[in-house]
A = this chain, B = another copy of it.
Amino acid sequence: MKIKIKNREGVKVIVIISILSFAVMSLGSSGDEDLLKQAKQIFGPLPQVIVSEKNPVTPEKVKLGKMLFYETRISVDGTVSCSRCHPIGLYAADGLRKSIGNNCKLNPRNAPTLLNAAGQISGHWIGNRIDVEDQAKQSVIGPFSFGMPSYEAVEKKLKGIKGYAAPFKTAFPMDNNPLTIDNFAKAIGAFERTLVTPSPFDAFLEGKTATLREREKTGLKSYMEAGCTMCHFGTYVGGQTYQKFGISEPYWKYTKSEPIDEGRYVVTKNEADRYVFKVPILRNVEKTSPYFHDGSIDKLEDVVWIMGKIQLGKDLDKSRVEEIVAFLKSLTGEIPEDVLKIPLLPSTD
């Protein structure tokens, strides 16, 4: 099987993959300690906050960013906010096959969850966003999302809501002109860097092996043995590499996708990137149906089977699929208390 990896730090990824392959192959004993040892070579527990050198997370930025996350009045038709396609109560995804943005425009792809998303190599399914800050910034002029004509137009709308002057100043105290689109992006990015959801699997990784039930541990073994870890590895259980979707067979044979999405080729125009997508993170995957870049599949069991079939060339049987799903459900985490609190927005007048 040919594995194609795209990464800004290609060498590093190859090294990681080698370690992972070794780790999976050497998995022998069924004891908890052995399982933990193997798992720790592949995965890592979540941090409290996903830090960024470019955008240090401060309480003031997070507070402002959370307000802006719910702000519809900066979209061209007044109905779109980050929360519209990433509602926190639905684990920051929207339950739609493809999201619907301003003026009923259909997004080309499914809205991935924003929970833990700041830990990924890039944003969006095709990796055309650098990080969560870039994603927040570009979304306001995205034709399928907020649909605004320019960044200046967004700044003007924000300045029109007088109650935003003070929280921007507080969040960016050194700036003479704090209310800018870049600070808007930084504030939302800072908030998104707090969307971290520790799960039973994290407790397991931290040594509390009894946190996972036997079925979940069996599932973890199956997950590693089947080779899911070749792409879905690391702290975020994915999100670190790009990969062709449909290695052994075309994906649309199983997803019945219409139209066929060329993936990262759209960004790079490089033939090698045709049907290549960013590997999604699997944290909270239980909660974010429907699945795949086009939301074509509803059931997690079907997803696991299809992935085995077209990525690994394996026809996983029902019990193996169910075990893996049991493990995946242990990745469902707790949303921080503060994230679950609705911010009050300044009034329009």
Does the CB pair B299–A349 fall under 8 Å?
yes
A104 and chain B: residue at smallest CB distance: B104
Tell me how many chains of this kind the complex includes.
2
Chain A residues 238-295 with CB under 8 Å of chain B are 286-290
A301 and chain B: residue at smallest CB distance: B349
Chain-B contact segment, one of A9-17, A89-97, A142-150, A164-172: A89-97
SS of A interface (majority): loop
A90 and chain B: residue at smallest CB distance: B345
Does the CB pair A348–B77 fall under 8 Å?
no
Chain-B contact segment, one of A26-34, A213-221, A222-230, A336-344: A336-344
Chain A residues 314-340 with CB under 8 Å of chain B are 335, 340
Check A349/B89 contact, CB under 8 A, given A72-B95, A96-B78, A341-B342.
no
Of the residues B94, B287, B335, B349, contact of A347 by C-beta under 8 Å: B287
Most central of A88, A290, A343, A349 by chain B CB within 10 Å? A349
A128 at the interface (CB under 8 A from B): no
Of the residues B78, B89, B95, B342, contact of A89 by C-beta under 8 Å: B342
Check A347/B289 contact, CB under 8 A, given A70-B89, A342-B88, A342-B89.
yes
Alpha-carbon distance A99/B92, docked complex (angstroms): 24
- A-side residues, CB < 8 A to B, are 67, 70, 72-73, 77-79, 84, 87-91, 94-96, 100, 103-104, 286-290, 298-300, 335, 340-345, 347-349
Q: Provide a sorted-by-A list of 25 A–B residue pairs whose CB atoms are within 8 angstroms.
A: A67-B89, A70-B87, A72-B87, A72-B90, A72-B94, A72-B95, A78-B94, A78-B95, A78-B96, A79-B84, A79-B96, A89-B342, A91-B344, A103-B104, A104-B104, A286-B347, A287-B347, A289-B347, A289-B348, A290-B349, A298-B348, A299-B349, A335-B344, A340-B341, A341-B341
Going nearest first, the 3 A-B pairs with the smallest beta carbon separation are A289-B349, A104-B104, A289-B348
